[in-house]
Each structure stands twice: as C-alpha cells, then as structure tokens.
Amino acid sequence: MKTYSATPKDIERRWYVVDADGQILGRLASEISKILRGKHKPTFTPHMDTGDFVIVINAAKVRMTGRKAEQKQYFRHTGYMGHERYTPASTMLERHPTRVIEKAVYGMLPKSALARQILRRKLRVYPSSEHPHVAQKPTVLTFSPASE
C-alpha cells in the first residue's frame, strides 16, 4: 500500500455557513478549525491546504461558559518596553466580536505558515447575520450546542 497524498487537482473546495448564535466559543472554534484544515475529508494531507471555506455569522452572539467573560484576557503588545495591554473577553466581544472567534480558531490551528495562510484566506467572520457570500451558495452547518 502506498500513502495517499493529495495533489492540487484533487482538491475540491466547498463553502459552509456556521451560525455562532448560542454556540460555545471553544467547541465552535474546534469544529471550524477541522473544516478549515480539511480533516473532515478522506483526502486530508497534512502539508497541503485541503480544507474548505467557512463563513461565521452572528459572531456577537457567541457564548462563553463559566466566568470566562470576566476572567479571560486577550494580550497584545504595543512594541514599547513594559507596554503590555490586556483586554477582558467581555470588552473584546462588545467592541470586536469577529476577533474573538478568529483568535480562538487560530489557537486551534498549528503554528505554521500554512495555518496562517488558511486562516487569512478561508475564514470569514461577521458580527451579524448578513454576509456578502451568497453567490458561493454555501451549505449551512449546524453543531449541536452542548450544555454546560
């Protein structure tokens, strides 16, 4: 038996819409990262981009369990010594709801050039239910919301 390795002509890409309304952030991000990477396909090849496109709508309505909304902090650095900035998750969700999902999905992808390329090209996050990708005829994906 030979190990299967996908070639660019073998890759078939699809578009999916995921509604984040009422979904738990981490569970949603792990499912999205699997689809972006292509791990749900039998033609998955680790060194190639075999995944599909994902459109996330209603990002502002995503849920966090426990006390993460108050306790979780997002870190950034200004570039100056001692100028670390920490933003609580509740503030980030109010001001930039798309970044919350993007950062969660980024954390679930491997830290490589391929993963950054996948995230930049194939993930689209929108805070409301409107999106401009109707022409791609995306398939609606539903994940069962798990209880706390």
Every domain of the chain and the residues it spans = 14-64+96-141
pLDDT of residue 46: 93
Q: Which residues pair with 140 in a beta bridge?
A: 17
pLDDT of residue 125: 97
The torsion angles phi and psi of 3, rounded to 5 degrees, stand at -75, 135
Q: In whole angstroms, what is the distance from residue 92 CA to residue 59 CA?
A: 12
Overall pTM surpassing 0.85 (yes/no): yes
Provide the CATH topology of domain 14-64+96-141. Answer: Ribosomal Protein L13p; Chain: A; (3.90.1180)
Q: In whole angstroms, what is the distance from residue 141 CA to residue 10 CA?
A: 23
pLDDT of residue 77: 96
Low-confidence ranges of the chain (pLDDT < 70): 145-148
